[in-house]
Amino acid sequence: MNERDAIPGRALPAFIPGKGTMRFGARGGPGGSPLSLPGGAYPGPALNASVALNPPTDVRPPSARDFTLSGTLAGAAVGTTPAVIPGAAFVVPVGNVGVIRSVVFLVNNLLLTSQVSFTLTFNAGAVEGWSNIPVAARVAASVSTSFGPEETALPVPENTAIAVVVTVLDGAVYQVSTIIHGWFYPKEIGAPFDAAYAGI
């Protein structure tokens, strides 16, 4: 293609030595249709050099600080009224945001009739998708329900209190535990990523 073949108002595709002409699709990659905007402009948000890095919710930034919540609640304290598991609480500091990357719920002495569920809360409110997560009833000395980093990247807003509550509806006595891992980092580290993804 040369200038006389160009569509009015649209730039010529880039010429790559040894590769010929490269046509960019709608997502800015090779192949597909040429860009549809006049002049072949990039249709997405303004690019920021930091966006080329991994998001701080996926890879722990050097300036981030880890947190691990680990707590156990045993005996009659576990009842039909939701109870906060001691030790499984943390507040993301002001000026920071966080991310939860793994969650584990554990129950000892589970029965076929067990009705035990866990809820992750932010500022005492149930987190969407993390409410009343059950542990499958069966006879077992110890059972865990785990959500690893491959499936967990839950953003935590600034100054948010994280906690885990447990509810038992069958009247039996259990020992329950939880382990949560994540990290928090200054808001300005995540701001370029938030702005870039918001515009996509």
Q: Is residue 95 part of a domain?
A: yes
Give the CATH number, domain containing residue 123.
2.60.120
Range of the domain at 24: 3-43
Chain mean position to CA 170 = 32
Mean pLDDT of 100-115: 95
Task: Give the Cβ contact number of residue 131 at 10 Å.
Answer: 14
- Structural domain includes residue 200: no
Average pLDDT for residues 92-97, to the nearest whole number? 95
| Judgement on whether residues 136 and 72 belong to the same structural domain of the protein | yes
In a domain, 55, yes or no: no
In a domain, 53, yes or no: no
129/177 same-domain check: yes
The reported pLDDT for the residue numbered 190 is 75
Domain identity same for 84 and 159: yes
Q: Is residue 33 situated within a structural domain?
A: yes
How remote is the C-alpha of 112 from its chain's centroid?
A: 33
User: 143 and 178: one domain?
Assistant: yes
Based on the domain organization, do 70 and 121 belong to the same domain?
A: yes
- The reply to whether 114 falls in a domain is yes
Give the SS3 label for residue 130.
coil
Tokens of 26: 């709608």
Same domain membership, residue 154 and residue 81: yes
Work out the pLDDT band at 96, boundaries 50, 70, 90. very high
Domain membership of residue 181 (yes or no) is yes
This prediction's pTM: 0.69
Check whether residue 86 and residue 177 sit in a common domain: yes
Q: Are residues 25 and 91 in the same domain?
A: no
Q: In this structure, are 78 and 170 located in the same domain?
A: yes
The letter for the amino acid at 172 is A
Does residue 136 sit within a domain? yes
pLDDT of residue 80 exceeding 60: yes
Which residues contact residue 107 at a Cβ distance below 8 angstroms, ignoring those fewer than 6 apart? 114, 116, 135, 142, 143, 144, 174, 175, 176, 177
The predicted model gives 9-31 an average pLDDT of 41
* Same domain membership, residue 16 and residue 106: no
**Residues forming beta bridges with residue 181, ordered by sequence position:** 68, 102
- Strands (E) in 8-139, as ranges, are 14-16, 20-22, 65-75, 83-91, 96-110, 116-122, 125-126, 133-134
11 pLDDT higher than 50: no
User: What is the count of structural domains for the chain?
Assistant: 2
Q: Which residue has the tokens 């969650």?
A: 103
Q: Residue 45 — very low, low, confident or very high, per pLDDT cuts 50/70/90?
A: low
Q: What's the chain's average pLDDT?
A: 79
